[in-house]
């Protein structure tokens, strides 16, 4: 099997790449995503390129091959199912499960993974709203706009949070701003770069545009179903 390190490079490359996966991801970006120095990433990337898991253009960057993408999706699937399991079955807080899953994703067997998936009744999204790849390697690629793009007076519901910082996640939970929850945009101040939100079942709260950009939402009137792609 593949080492933890290999799985991590592939996973982070997948998470860094653009939707189509056609564009090269710069080495520096991959290195900092994985948490290693650029030199280390260069070495590993050469190995992965030789194994046919990614294409490497020196001084250009890297891109997953179909084989690499498949493996990356499998790692992401494990990560997100584990997170869901930790929250729904073991009752951990959603702010703590990301780090736990970082380790578990590399040792959980497929047998255990599929048991968990079954117990959870094949969830489509994890507690952060991130889509869970299927066992066959497909993933929901539906795009959502960030809260930061919406104007005052709009009603939206939270779909996904692109930030794993435990303190921020605890903040969101406290203010009823988790995926699935509705929120009205009460005000937006371009000068202060802040938005004031009124969560359906919480008190008004003001957050910066930077953090708002990490919260993906959809118009609350909209009920469009989502589509999957291979």
Partner DNA sequence: ATCTACACTTTGATATATCAAAGTCAAGGT
Partner DNA sequence: ACCTTGACTTTGATATATCAAAGTGTAGAT
Phi/psi class of residue 152: alpha, beta or left (left: φ > 0; alpha: ψ in -120 to 50)?
Answer: beta
What are the backbone dihedrals phi and psi of residue 74, each rounded to the nearest 5 degrees, phi first? -65, -40
Give whichever of 14 and 85 is closer to DNA, judged by the CB atom: 14
Name the one range near DNA by CB under 7 A: 52-60, 107-115, 116-124, 216-224: 52-60
* Chosen residue from 33, 36, 49, 209 binding DNA by CB under 7 A: 36
Q: Which does 27 bind (CB under 5 to 8 A by kind): DNA, its own copies, none?
A: DNA
- Residue 41 near which of DNA, its own copies, none (CB within 5-8 Å, type-dependent): DNA
Question: Using an 8 Å Cβ cutoff, are 148 and 195 in contact?
Answer: yes
Chain centroid, CA 67 distance in Å: 21
Extract the tokens encoding 128.
């952060």
Binding test (CB under 7 A) with DNA, winner from 13, 14, 17, 27: 27
Q: Kind and range of the H or E element at 216? A: strand 215-219
State yes or no: residue 52 binds DNA (CB under 7 A): no
Say which DSSP state 36 is in.
Answer: S
Binding partner of residue 107 among DNA, its own copies, none, CB cut-off 5 to 8 Å per kind: its own copies
Positions that interact with its own copies (CB under 8 A): 86, 89-92, 96, 100, 103-104, 106-109, 111-112, 115-116, 119
Distance CA 17, CA 15 (A): 6
- Residue 194 interacts with DNA (CB under 7 A): yes or no: no
Residue 103 contacts which entry, DNA, its own copies, none (Cβ below 5-8 A, type-dependent): its own copies
The least distance separating its own copies from the CB of residue 143, rounded to whole angstroms, comes to 33
CB of 214 to DNA, least distance (A): 23
24: tokens are: 């090269």
**Which C-beta is closer to DNA: that of 36 or that of 120?**
36
The vertex-94 CA angle with 92 and 95, nearest 5°, equals 105
Task: Tell the burial category of 179 from Cβ atoms under 10 Å away from its Cβ (0-12, 13-18, 19+).
Answer: buried
Our CB check for its own copies shows the closer of 89 and 162 to be: 89
Query: Which region among 39-47, 92-100, 159-167, 209-217 touches DNA (by CB under 7 A)?
Result: 39-47
- Tell me if 119 sits within 8 A of 112, measured CB to CB: no
């Amino acid at each position: 099997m593949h080492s933890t390190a290999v799985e991590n490079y592939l996973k982070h490359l997948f998470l860094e790449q653009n939707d189509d996966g056609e564009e090269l991801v710069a080495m520096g970006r991959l290195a900092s995503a994985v948490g290693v120095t650029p030199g280390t990433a260069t070495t590993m990337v050469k190995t992965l390129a030789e194994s046919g898991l990614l294409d490497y253009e020196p001084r250009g960057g890297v891109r997953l091959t179909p084989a690499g993408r498949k493996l990356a999706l499998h790692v992401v699937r494990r990560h997100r199912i584990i997170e869901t399991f930790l929250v729904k079955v073991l009752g951990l807080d959603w702010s703590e499960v990301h780090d736990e899953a970082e380790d578990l994703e590399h040792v959980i067997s497929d047998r255990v993974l599929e048991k968990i998936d079954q117990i959870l009744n094949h969830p489509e999204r994890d507690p952060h709203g991130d889509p869970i790849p299927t066992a066959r390697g497909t993933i929901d690629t539906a795009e959502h706009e960030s809260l930061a793009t919406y104007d005052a007076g709009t009603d939206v519901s939270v779909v996904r949070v692109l930030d794993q910082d435990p303190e921020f996640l605890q903040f969101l939970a406290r203010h009823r701003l988790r995926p699935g929850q509705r929120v009205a945009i009460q005000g937006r101040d371009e000068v202060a770069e802040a938005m004031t939100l009124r969560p359906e079942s919480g008190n008004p709260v003001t957050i910066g545009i930077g953090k708002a950009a990490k919260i993906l939402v959809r118009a609350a009137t909209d009920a469009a179903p989502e589509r999957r792609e291979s």
